[in-house]
Structure 1
Amino acid sequence: MEILLLLALGVHLTAADTHTYQYFFTAVTPGIHFPEFTVVGLLDGVQFEYYDSNIRKAIPKTEWIQKNKGVDYWKRNTQNGQGQEESFKGNVDTLMQRFNQTEGVHTVQMMCGCELDDDGSTRGYKQYSYDGEDFLSFDLKTLTWIAPTPQAVISKNKWDKTGAAANQWRNFLENTCIEELKKYVSYGRETLERKVRPEVSVFQKHSSSPEVVCHATGFLPKAVMITWQKDGEDVHEDVELRETLHNQDGSFQKRSILKVPAEELQKHNYTCVVQHSSLGDERIVKEVPKGGGSIGVIIGVIAALVSLAALAGCVGFLVWRNSSGERNKAFEPLPQNSSPSTDDDSSSNNSNNKV
């Protein structure tokens, strides 16, 4: 049964309009049925470019990049990808030695990229990880490298010695990267600004389960808000909000888990509330079904004051845990003198990526 409710809500949800431009590089030990090396280019969290050690060439993943980049671009990025492949395979061997490892599955990742807010403020970052843990990161403010583990100090000292790598990366992150970001946003604006409403379901695994899941999927842009209510009042405790994930079609999915005793579900009405820019002044409300089971059967669309803009995010094939609680960052992409996708980049100097 569908219910339309009109409510006066005092909450106005806003989000800054932020664009992101990132490359993820991942190298893994062979033998796990996964390419030994991959490069993924993302704009606003959407993959637009791809390279791996099996196909050994850079390929477009969106219509707008294919339309705006010619043969020379893909040839250049293919050469860069092949050079990076050799560097990162060497990094895996190097770090296994530093950590006294002779076998097992190991991963080296690097991510670099930049962000641009609608107020003109920018951010840039470059980070490495090993086996899912932070290994080395670039501090753009101090132009130094941060080494959280003893094994990373060797790389830090090497790159801090002359300052050349720091200056190179500052120029890229503060200038070239932002210029490229603006250019790519103009290429893909129609796609990036497309809005698709989420499909929402609420369910329990079984009637006695203390966890209720609210799952939103298929939405664009990425920014979404999922909250819980008990008898019409907001619930903030015992709520676990999972990270936003990609779907194969380029849309996004996200879930929120509410932990509540089964007897409480029988006594009270719990609902999941989803707010998204595609809904305009509405929001989707799904009621938790009594007695557990599968998908909730009551769908409410409630008038609200909602204004969401796309927030950028990072998606990599392998994303490491970040003990500091900050944004998960994976490995970088461009150790050459500029980004692999920079139009005037013809260099193949991959030494800057060797740890």
Structure 2
Amino acid sequence: MWPALLFSVTLTSASTHSLTYFFTAVSGDIDFPEFTVVGLVDGKRFIYFDSNIKKTVPKTEWMKQKEGAGYWDRQTQLAAGTHHAFRNNIQAARGLFNHSTGVHTFQLMYGCEWDDQTGATDGFRQEGYDGEDFLTLDLKEMRWTSAVQEGFSTQNKWNNNRAYLEGRRHYFNTVCVEWLKKYVEYGKSSLEKTVSPQVSLLQKSPSSPVVCHATGFYPSGVTISWMRNEQENHTDVSHGELLPNEDGTFQKMSSIRVTPEDLKKNEYSCVVKHKSTTVRKTLTGKEIRTNEDQTGGSVRVGIIVFAVDVFIIICVAGCMYLKKRREDGQL
């Protein structure tokens, strides 16, 4: 199941770079663009297109500076052509699933990764319909697989087309990686920046889980762990998804359920590790902010609300439905 209204970003190590494109088409009675394209380098948005504005635009200063009008015209033409193709795709999918009415989505995620230390590369592509896996390309086996019976016919058709498969191999192993290297060089100063996380301990009530919330950090790689009396603790712990902030930084949370009595008898702490720093917060009355915290005002916990723009609202509706990272041409 692809989680709705979440936006997933591929996590990479310090030496690994990623280029990822998210396509989302929506049919039915909607009040937002029926088609969007979002491109990300190392998890940071760098281009955007939607069927309302009808043009591809830069989302970083380095893309504005490095590419001229010809590049943006080509990307707009490619996106417009893909929009037309996705209209056909979503109608075909509706037919396969016998959906004649209602709002439906067709999504595609594809891209590549490159390790600038080892030179290793990888590619991924996955399609989805209405929040469920539909078709996935396994680059190592060079074959398509479908998660549902409705996709078997397309799976078999594409697997029997060796020229098509070889074209995909060439794209992911060569074309995509070449563009990724170019974009990384363009945005080197921005992509290599480091911003430390701000860490807070939040709790709705004494009987609620304690949430360790890290936000404002860049790059995206972060780990949150819990300690009990200086020993790593995994009991009654849950971890949230990595989420993007509007300013290009990231946030993540983890929670632990612990009784007031246990908290008095034992020392619990949250440890947040990021390439920029390690932050440790001990669960004490002074550190934990609650709804009754009079110094900071009312604290909203459970769901951390953050600013989002049209990109997140639209792309989120489909893009993150892809649960494995796994195209068709450069956009």
The amino acid that maps onto 2:130 is D
Whole-angstrom distance in 2 between the partners of 1:222 and 1:139: 26
Aligned residue number for residue 170 of structure 1: 169
Deviation at 1:321, TM superposition (A): 5.0
Secondary structure of 1:101's counterpart equals coil
Decide which of 313, 324, 327 is 1:328's aligned counterpart. Answer: 324
8 Å contact 1:26–1:110 — kept in the other structure? yes
Give per-residue Cα distances to partners, 1:158-179, cap 9 Å, x unaligned.
3223322211111000011111
The amino acid that maps onto 1:58 is T
Deviation at 1:269, TM superposition (A): 2.3
Aligned residue pair count: 297
Give per-residue Cα distances to partners, 1:195-218, cap 9 Å, x unaligned.
111111101111111x11100000
8 Å contact 2:22–2:319 — kept in the other structure? no
Whole-angstrom distance in 1 between the partners of 2:236 and 2:210: 11
Change (3 A) 1:320 1:97: farther
Give per-residue Cα distances to partners, 1:294-342, cap 9 Å, x unaligned.
299xxxxxxxxxxxxxxxxxx95234556xxxx5347xxx43xx311xx
Give per-residue Cα distances to partners, 1:49-101, cap 9 Å, x unaligned.
00001111000000111111110110011011111111112211111111111
Change (3 A) 1:89 1:150: same
Decide which of 254, 269, 272 is 2:270's aligned counterpart. Answer: 272
Task: Work out the percentage of aligned pairs sharing the same amino acid.
Answer: 44
Aligned residue number for residue 185 of structure 2: 186
Secondary structure of 1:65's counterpart equals helix
> Counterparts in 2 of 1:105-116, with a 5 A limit?
105-116=103-114
Aligned residue number for residue 226 of structure 2: 228
- Are 1:286 and 2:281 an aligned pair? yes
Deviation at 1:271, TM superposition (A): 1.3
> Counterparts in 2 of 1:191-340, with a 5 A limit?
191-209=190-208, 211-279=209-277, 283-290=278-285, 293-294=289-290, 317=316, 318-320=318-320, 328-329=324-325, 334-335=327-328, 338-340=329-331
The amino acid that maps onto 2:324 is N
8 Å contact 1:177–1:339 — kept in the other structure? yes
Change (3 A) 1:107 1:65: same
Change (3 A) 1:266 1:103: farther
Q: Flag structure 1 segments of 5+ consecutive residues without an equivalent.
A: 1-13, 297-314, 341-355
Aligned residue number for residue 152 of structure 1: 151
The amino acid that maps onto 1:136 is L
Q: Flag structure 2 segments of 5+ consecutive residues without an equivalent.
A: 1-11, 294-311
Whole-angstrom distance in 1 between the partners of 2:164 and 2:150: 19
Give per-residue Cα distances to partners, 1:78-137, cap 9 Å, x unaligned.
011111111112211111111111222221110110111231111111110111111001
Aligned residue number for residue 92 of structure 2: 94
- Are 1:34 and 2:23 an aligned pair? no
TM-score, with length taken from structure 2: 0.84
8 Å contact 1:218–1:253 — kept in the other structure? yes
Whole-angstrom distance in 1 between the partners of 2:265 and 2:101: 55
Deviation at 1:16, TM superposition (A): 5.5
Whole-angstrom distance in 2 between the partners of 1:321 and 1:46: 18
8 Å contact 2:28–2:102 — kept in the other structure? no
Whole-angstrom distance in 1 between the partners of 2:191 and 2:25: 29
Whole-angstrom distance in 1 between the partners of 2:151 and 2:13: 36
Secondary structure of 1:55's counterpart equals coil
Deviation at 1:31, TM superposition (A): 2.6
8 Å contact 2:28–2:101 — kept in the other structure? no
TM-score, with length taken from structure 1: 0.78
Change (3 A) 1:150 1:175: same
8 Å contact 1:23–1:39 — kept in the other structure? yes
Secondary structure of 1:81's counterpart equals helix
8 Å contact 1:319–1:328 — kept in the other structure? no
Change (3 A) 1:266 1:74: same
Secondary structure of 1:120's counterpart equals coil
Runs of 4+ in 1 over 4 A off after TM superposition: none
